[in-house]
Chains A and B, each alone.
Chain A
Amino acid sequence: NAGVTQTPKFRVLKTGQSMTLLCAQDMNHEYMYWYRQDPGMGLRLIHYSVGEGTTAKGEVPDGYNVSRLKKQNFLLGLESAAPSQTSVYFCASSYPPGQVVANYGYTFGSGTRLTVV
């Protein structure tokens, strides 16, 4: 009954370092998403995927890359971290629209707090 699992939960990076955030879901959801949460700005979509092997840009994609090699996993990469990427990152998954269960929205992970110094 894990739902959506994000690792790590906390991380401190130095400017210029790289890292990968891992998201895993066990609900057989087609769609997966990465959001970042900043004070006063809500959650903003970074990248998303509508199926294995597909990715697309969201609202704030610059400085990030993603991969969806397996249906259950969605990776978010920071190639060269910058202080502006200090944020809380959320992964989420969902059924595609058009299915009755889709109106239950997303299932979210518990978030990753990333600090870039």
Chain B
Amino acid sequence: AQTVTQSQPEMSVQEAETVTLSCTYDTSESDYYLFWYKQPPSRQMILVIRQEAYKQQNATENRFSVNFQKAAKSFSLKISDSQLGDAAMYFCAYRGAWKQTSGSRLTFGEGTQLTVNP
């Protein structure tokens, strides 16, 4: 079974600074997707960024970028120029690419609570 681990329950960053959230995963599958979701106090799950395992290039979405290390099974999220609105719980998630394996379900990490200090 696939597992996702976020070893940082809490992180803090000063406004305008850069922070990196860590995520590792375990899988025997060769093709899969990885995601970072943001959950603000409103409880809504918001997709921040995604990465296809077959792509070597790291995904980037504005101030958000990932460092995808397939061999190390590591998928960290970097937030640049942090803003107060970035404060939220962040979840790393894994999804297998094939119907036959893992039921195509999203497997989540435990979450990292990010605080942004003014």
Chain A residues proximal to chain B, CB less than 8 Å: 31, 33, 35, 40-45, 48, 50, 56, 58, 88, 90, 92, 94, 96-98, 102-106, 108, 110-111, 113
Contacts and interface: CB of A to CB of B under 8 A. Distances in A.
Interface string B52-93: 100000000000000000000000000000000000000101
Contacts, number: 71
Given A42-B111, A90-B45, A97-B97, A103 B33 contact: yes
A33 B44 contact: no
B110 A41 contact: yes
B103 A50 contact: yes
Contacts of B25: none
Interface of B: 4, 6, 9, 33, 35, 37, 42-45, 47, 50, 52, 91, 93, 95-99, 103-111
Contact of B104 (A40, A41, A88, A97): A97
B2 to A, nearest CB: 11
B106 A98 contact: no
A92 B98 CA distance: 18
B33 A105 contact: yes
Given A105-B33, A108-B44, A33 B105 contact: yes
Nearest to B93: A105
Output the residue of B52, B96, B103 with the most chain A CB within 10 A: B103
Contacts of A105: 33, 35, 37, 47, 50, 93, 95, 106
Contacts of B98: 97-98
Output the residue of A35, A48, A97 with the most chain B CB within 10 A: A97
